[in-house]
């Protein structure tokens, strides 16, 4: 079994060096995520205190809201710069892309705009969970090896760990699309879309995938 994922190894000497390199890359990816999380931590704190103040001001006994609402600073600035008509006001306060944590450390503006054009994200941008990152790396590896089935396995394992991560569902949709399973590609992209909150780049990618899959179905 060719695999990067660390718990099933049958490594020869050659493979172990390769794994070492991958591992080093992986560690650097991890540290980026950690930095990203650290950088963002105060923001999250602030939003939390804002909520609790909010609650303290009111006498009612409402439970803490169960929305994901941490604002992502870089992205919200970006959208604020857009013409007001395209983005309804409520949108701005919508859930923080917990997942774009990696993006948040980048300086807002140009980098963020570039980001939006790039649909394919690196594993460490998709998730902050090392296990999910490892599985995504494995999926990438398997895809490069041409074994999509194993890539699907890895993504499904990742989804079991982080089922509300829209990027994982998108990745699965792409793999199905590659495999000419148009209907499933559409359904999975829709699922990704439903979880996409305010991630226009992902929404665009999903819409594109759905369009192409539908086209393929009608061509058939």
Q: What is the contact mask toward other proteins in residues 6 to 45, using x (rule: CB under 8 A)?
A: xxxxxx----x--xx--x--xx--x---------------
**Nearest residue to 168 (alpha-carbon basis) of 182, 155, 187, 181:** 155
Among positive and negative, which fits the CA dihedral 73, 78, 84, 86? Answer: negative
Rounded Cα distance, 11 and 8, in Å: 9
Q: Which residues contact 79 (CB under 8 A, 6 or more apart)?
A: 87, 91, 92, 198
When asked if residue 194 is in the footprint of other proteins (CB under 8 A), the reply is yes
Q: Is residue 86 a contact point for other proteins (CB under 8 A)?
A: no
Give 126 or 134: the residue with its C-beta nearer to other proteins. 134
Residue 34, number of CB atoms within 10 A of its CB: 13
Least Cβ distance, residue 134 to other proteins (angstroms): 4
Cβ(127)–Cβ(36) below 8 Å: no
Binding site residues, other proteins, CB under 8 A: 1, 3, 5-11, 16, 19-20, 23, 26-27, 30, 51, 54-55, 58-68, 88, 90-91, 93-95, 129-131, 133-135, 149-150, 152-153, 156-157, 159-161, 163-164, 172, 184, 187-188, 190-191, 193-198, 203
């Amino acid at each position: 079994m060719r695999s990067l994922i660390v718990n099933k190894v049958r490594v020869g000497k050659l493979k172990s060096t390769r794994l070492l390199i991958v591992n080093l890359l992986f560690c650097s990816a991890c540290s980026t995520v950690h930095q990203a999380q650290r950088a963002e931590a105060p923001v999250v704190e602030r939003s939390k205190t804002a909520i609790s103040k909010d609650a303290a001001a009111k006498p009612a006994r409402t439970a803490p809201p169960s929305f994901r609402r941490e604002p992502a600073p870089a992205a919200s600035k970006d959208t604020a710069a857009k013409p007001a008509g395209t983005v309804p006001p409520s949108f701005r306060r919508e859930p923080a892309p917990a997942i774009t944590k990696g993006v948040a450390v980048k300086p807002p503006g140009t980098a963020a705009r570039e980001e939006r054009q790039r649909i394919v994200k690196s594993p460490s941008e998709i998730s902050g969970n090392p296990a999910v990152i490892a599985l995504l790396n494995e999926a990438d590896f398997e895809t490069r090896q041409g074994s999509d089935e194993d890539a699907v396995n890895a993504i499904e394992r990742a989804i079991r760990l982080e089922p509300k991560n829209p990027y994982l569902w998108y990745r699965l949709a792409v793999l199905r699309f590659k495999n000419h399973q148009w209907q499933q590609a559409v359904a999975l992209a829709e699922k990704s879309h439903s979880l996409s909150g305010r991630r226009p780049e992902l929404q665009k990618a999903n819409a594109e995938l759905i369009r192409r899959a539908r086209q393929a179905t009608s061509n058939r």
